[in-house]
Amino acid sequence: MTASRSWFRALLLAVAVALPMTLLAVPSGTAFGRPFVPGASRAEPGPIHAGNTFGWYNGGGLVYDEKFVGPLAKRWKVEGPGLVRNQHGMLTLNTYSHGTVSATLMRPGQKYGRWETRLRSRVYGKTGANYRVLTELVPMSRKKERCGELNVGLNRYVPGRRNLNLYVRNRPGLLYQAKLRNSFGRDQWHTFAVEVTPKRISWFVDARVVRTERRPDALSDVNFRVRFTMLGVKGKKMKKSRMQMDWLRYWALKAPNKKSTKAPRMVKKEYTLACGPAA
């Protein structure tokens, strides 16, 4: 064997030994902090999120930080068929093969503020219709819900598909929405946030502001709570699925945003699914 071949084999051996150690030393995909870019790759976001990117902690702005350790707290109201529990530090909504299951945080409602959560989802079933994953702000008063007429959507998507729906609704029959392209589901972590002020609403995905709506009739002026939902199709067999959240936070509007919230506005449409008498 020539000296050059010996040197080349020694180099390959050194690379083979060093590469696994290098990969172990690099944090997982969630540590790179890549922001969400519509239509971009499926890389997961990092530990950054809207709360620390936009300075919401400043001035003591954090009001609550829901973490899911131990038994499910009594302040969570569970509705519908499914298994809702804290599992390995995550609030987990496991569906059955039918119906809609939800968990609502029954803290005092807030009219304005900043809400953010980090979640992932997964489909287990092979046959049936697809569940939709929803994170929403819903009116504190049940009488004002009227089939979601006043809800604010932080996310609405089918796991594994490349469509994300964001929205805000208001009376009478107003709907402002946006559809973004990216992959959600398959156990990929993403952060979703919304900021509601007296003059605008802004949506954030993976620490990046993606939409801001300033038209006055988008603001409903009601007190909101957070609800997580696995939305099924009535009367249909569904693919068993789950959604998991490892934290949920709320900040008051004490600190100005460190970065601009300028973003494209929503598309105005009509909401036709309101039900029941007006409150």
Give the tens place of pLDDT for each residue, 30-79: 332 344 444 443 445 567 899 999 999 999 999 999 999 999 999 999 99
Instruction: Answer whether residue 89 shows pLDDT above 50.
Output: yes
Q: Kindly list the distances between the CA atom of residue 151 and the CA atoms of 30, 137, 148, 155, 186, in Å, as whole numbers in the listed order.
A: 30, 6, 5, 11, 26
Instruction: Report the pLDDT value the prediction gives residue 72, as an integer from 0 to 100.
Output: 97
Instruction: Report the pLDDT value the prediction gives residue 227, as an integer from 0 to 100.
Output: 98
Instruction: Report the pLDDT value the prediction gives residue 12, as an integer from 0 to 100.
Output: 54
Q: Kindly list the distances between the CA atom of residue 172 and the CA atoms of 161, 176, 177, 270, in Å, as whole numbers in the listed order.
A: 31, 12, 15, 9
CA proximity to 131, closest of 110, 159, 108, 170: 159
Rounded to an integer, the average pLDDT of 86-113 is 97
Instruction: Report the pLDDT value the prediction gives residue 75, as an integer from 0 to 100.
Output: 97
Instruction: Answer whether residue 275 shows pLDDT above 80.
Output: no
Per the model's pLDDT, the better-predicted residue between 25 and 178 turns out to be 178
pLDDT range class, residue 157, cuts 50, 70, 90: very high
Rounded to an integer, the average pLDDT of 104-126 is 96
Instruction: Answer whether residue 202 shows pLDDT above 60.
Output: yes
Instruction: Answer whether residue 277 shows pLDDT above 60.
Output: no
DSSP states of 46-77: -S--HHHHTTTTTTT-EEEEE---SSPPTTEE
